[in-house]
């Protein structure tokens, strides 16, 4: 049976980073990955340009049953630390919007950088982890290629999102086997699905995008909203999907800068002869303006003929559109998995399981999930660094 000091399970963002952080002279590290290539999610991330961090990273931009858990690791490994690595590797980058940093070129540059950083570590591809158990000297990891003995095991097998990209959820099975509590996983940063009556409005508008504000409880995001054949998508919807639960209502403000009923009442004074849809298209994309006017029974209706009550109803429809999604597209398209290993089981400084010395969980398989925009990779780097330094 092979013997190593550290076995890292999964060669995704967290596993690759942890291997580089844990490397010391003479320490034998093995990274086991069941796919043919390492870092597949990094490769496709950020539309192929990898949104590798966010300058506005702070613990309150993460969801978890214990939100402050992430604060320690995030404070000790900051976006600027990762940017330093990117700069040292000569990778050109830019800030797109809201602190989101992307590569100018391909995301594979980040994978190459991580691979170079962990040179000397053995990466065993097409090696599926099947089980982990403890023995007197440490742990035994069972893979499809045989068993490996390890003094320390780091579980970095990610969540359940996008099984096609290699997600298996085995990290949860390993945690359960060691008696750890799991916060029920669910799809996050995922398009929502809608009932037929909402689709009837959205479908003909597919392709239209506008900046909107979307709210659910205290969560509020202003970002692009995209009409699609399947309903609504775009960053604003993905962000709110982390907070939405089945049966709940969302509120969308299609024109966050303008109180539309006020604006229509003002316009009625000077432009009463103009059609409602034409006035609305000053502020909204034309097809959307027409669709809303038609939905409200105001096709070809003149502004002058509308009572305050009608304009207030129209205003509510645009500034406070209430919508009840029927579900999400699920793990097939979700960018992340919410929930995971309950943080009460882990030491926030090291990511080690409190009651199982030598066993660590990092990255997405832990109950810490970031907003859209580079936060999830920053959690992968920071949690990996915390474990890597402790090993």
- Token pair recorded at residue 293: 């006017």
Minimum CB separation of residue 54 from ligand FDA in Å reads: 7
Q: Which of 328, 350, 352, 376 binds ligand FDA (CB under 6 A)?
A: 376
Q: Which of 213, 223, 335, 345 binds ligand FDA (CB under 6 A)?
A: 335
Query: Judged by CB, which is closer to ligand FDA: 14, or 292?
Result: 14
| Residue 79 near ligand FDA by CB under 6 A | no
Residues 24-43 that bind ligand FDA (CB under 6 A): 32-35, 40-41
Q: H helices of the chain, where? A: 13-22, 40-44, 71-76, 79-88, 108-117, 170-177, 196-202, 235-241, 260-270, 276-280, 286-295, 308-319, 375-390
Part in contact with ligand FDA (CB under 6 A); list of ranges 21-29, 164-172, 242-250, 257-265: 164-172
Buried/exposed code over 212-247 (b: 16+ C-beta within 10 A; e: otherwise): bbbbbeeeebbbebbbbeebbbbbbbbbbbbbbeee
- Token pair recorded at residue 49: 């340009």
| Residue 345 near ligand FDA by CB under 6 A | no
- Classified as helix, coil or strand, 280 is helix
| Residue 125 near ligand FDA by CB under 6 A | no
Part in contact with ligand FDA (CB under 6 A); list of ranges 165-173, 180-188, 224-232, 235-243: 165-173
The HSE-up count of residue 9 (CA atoms within 13 Å, CB side) is: 35
Instruction: Give yes or no for a contact between 244 and 192, defined as CB atoms under 8 angstroms apart.
Output: yes
Q: Kindly state the number of chain residues that form the binding site for ligand FDA, as judged by CB under 6 A.
A: 38
Query: Judged by CB, which is closer to ligand FDA: 110, or 314?
Result: 110
Q: Which of 7, 14, 238, 284 binds ligand FDA (CB under 6 A)?
A: 14
CA angle 41/45/48 to nearest 5° reads: 115
| Residue 337 near ligand FDA by CB under 6 A | no
Residue with the two structure tokens 């991580």 = 114
| Residue 128 near ligand FDA by CB under 6 A | yes
Backbone angles phi, psi at 311, to 5 degrees: -70, -35
Instruction: Give yes or no for a contact between 74 and 382, defined as CB atoms under 8 angstroms apart.
Output: yes
Chain Cα centroid distance, residue 388: 23
| Residue 57 near ligand FDA by CB under 6 A | no
Minimum CB separation of residue 82 from ligand FDA in Å reads: 11
| Residue 168 near ligand FDA by CB under 6 A | yes
Q: Which of 21, 51, 57, 343 binds ligand FDA (CB under 6 A)?
A: 51
Query: Judged by CB, which is closer to ligand FDA: 328, or 376?
Result: 376
Minimum CB separation of residue 168 from ligand FDA in Å reads: 4
In angstroms, the CA 336 to CA 35 distance is 18
| Residue 268 near ligand FDA by CB under 6 A | no
Residue with the two structure tokens 């660094």 = 385
- Classified as helix, coil or strand, 309 is helix
Q: Which of 79, 138, 158, 231 binds ligand FDA (CB under 6 A)?
A: 158
**β-pairing verdict for 2-9 and 122-124:** unpaired
Query: Judged by CB, which is closer to ligand FDA: 158, or 231?
Result: 158
Other Cβ atoms within 10 Å of 133 Cβ, number = 12
Minimum CB separation of residue 285 from ligand FDA in Å reads: 27
| Residue 13 near ligand FDA by CB under 6 A | yes
DSSP structural state of residue 81: H
Q: Which of 4, 380, 382, 386 binds ligand FDA (CB under 6 A)?
A: 380
Minimum CB separation of residue 288 from ligand FDA in Å reads: 27
Part in contact with ligand FDA (CB under 6 A); list of ranges 246-254, 268-276, 297-305, 373-381: 373-381
- Token pair recorded at residue 20: 């580089």
Which residues contribute to the site for ligand FDA (CB under 6 A)? 9-15, 32-35, 40-41, 44-46, 50-51, 128-129, 156-158, 161-162, 166-168, 170, 335-336, 363-364, 374-377, 380
């Amino acid at each position: 049976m092979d013997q190593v000091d550290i076995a890292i399970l999964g060669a995704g963002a967290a596993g690759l980073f942890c291997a580089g952080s844990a490397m010391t002279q003479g320490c034998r590290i093995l990274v086991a990955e069941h796919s043919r290539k390492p870092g597949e999610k990094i490769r496709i991330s950020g539309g192929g340009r990898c949104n590798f961090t966010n300058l506005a990273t702070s613990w309150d931009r993460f969801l978890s049953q214990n939100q402050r858990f992430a604060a320690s690791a995030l404070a000790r490994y900051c976006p600027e630390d990762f940017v330093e690595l990117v700069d040292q590797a000569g990778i050109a980058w830019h800030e797109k919007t809201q602190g989101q940093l992307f590569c100018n070129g391909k995301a594979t540059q980040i994978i190459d950088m991580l691979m170079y950083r962990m040179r000397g570590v053995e990466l065993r591809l097409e090696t599926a982890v099947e089980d982990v158990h403890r023995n007197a000297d440490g742990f035994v990891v069972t893979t499809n290629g045989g068993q490996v003995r390890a003094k320390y095991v780091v579980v970095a097998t990610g969540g359940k999102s996008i099984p096609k990209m290699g997600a298996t959820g085995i990290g949860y099975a390993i945690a359960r086997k060691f008696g750890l509590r799991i916060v029920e996983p669910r799809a996050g940063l995922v398009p929502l699905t809608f009932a037929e009556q909402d689709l009837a409005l959205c479908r003909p508008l597919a392709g239209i995008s506008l900046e909107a504000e979307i709210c659910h409880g205290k969560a509020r995001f202003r970002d692009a909203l995209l009409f699609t054949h399947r309903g609504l998508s775009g960053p604003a919807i993905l962000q709110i999907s982390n907070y939405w639960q089945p049966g709940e209502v969302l509120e969308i403000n299609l024109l966050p800068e303008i109180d539309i009923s006020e604006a229509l009442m003002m316009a009625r004074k000077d432009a009463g002869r103009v059609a409602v849809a034409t006035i609305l298209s000053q502020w909204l994309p034309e097809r959307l303006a027409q669709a809303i006017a038609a939905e409200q029974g105001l096709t070809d209706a003149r502004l002058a003929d509308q009572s305050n009550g009608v304009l207030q109803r129209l205003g509510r429809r645009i500034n406070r559109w209430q919508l009840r999604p029927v579900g999400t597209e699920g793990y097939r398209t979700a960018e992340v998995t919410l929930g995971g290993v309950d943080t009460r089981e882990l030491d926030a400084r090291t990511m080690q399981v409190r009651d199982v010395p030598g066993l660590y969980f990092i990255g997405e398989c832990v109950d810490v999930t970031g907003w859209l925009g580079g936060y999830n990779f920053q959690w992968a780097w920071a949690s990996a660094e915390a474990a890597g330094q402790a090993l």
